[in-house]
Amino acid sequence: MRQHVNPLSKNFEVIESIPSLNILFDNPKLPLHLDIGCAAGDFLFDLSLINSNWNYLGIEIREKLVKNAQLKVKERKIRNLYFLFGNANNILENHECKFIIENAKSISFNFPDPWFKKRHYKRRIIQPEFINILSNSMQKESLIFIKTDVKDLFNYMDRTILNNLNFVTLDKVNLKSEKCFNPNRIQTNREMYVIENKLCIFERIYKKI
């Protein structure tokens, strides 16, 4: 069941203050992965505990999920994981938050809300303006990962990203394990559900050039 939250609501216009990487993580020099739409954060918890040589930052629009995830991080004393609440578009277009994109080695969009109705396409997380923001601040060679079980959404995301000439597709076979935020191929809850039900998964990797 997908839980819908309107990302265009005025409730998300106010952005919380975000500490520097030195405060967010025990070792800010580790490569940073950003997961947009991280839900309850189960995927990032698994990643952070197995891959201590990466820092992980999740952004989620449902405040209750973020508060619960932040509490778990504190209780488990995990120092390479942090969660932010809010609309990722609003957060990352804010000048004071630009350092997040500038330091991210990779960004993932895992099974984002498809917003099936055409009049709601503007609510989809990947928008041309948002990709431009990422393009203007991401380091060269940094990566974007998309994954969904909705073919129409995949086509939309793929087209939107490739319309920006600063991104090209990257074949999985050319992805070096040391540059991958998920070398053990840990699956999200949604991915496990899709595989269990024998549904199709559409995914692609893009490189900033």
Catalytic positions, please? 113
Q: Which helix (H) or strand (E) holds 55?
A: strand 55-60
Evaluate whether 57 touches 182 at the Cβ level (below 8 Å): no
- CA dist., res. 133 & res. 199, Å (int): 33
In 3-state terms, what secondary structure has residue 205?
strand
Closest CA to 2 of 90, 125, 146: 125
34: its two tokens: 């950003």
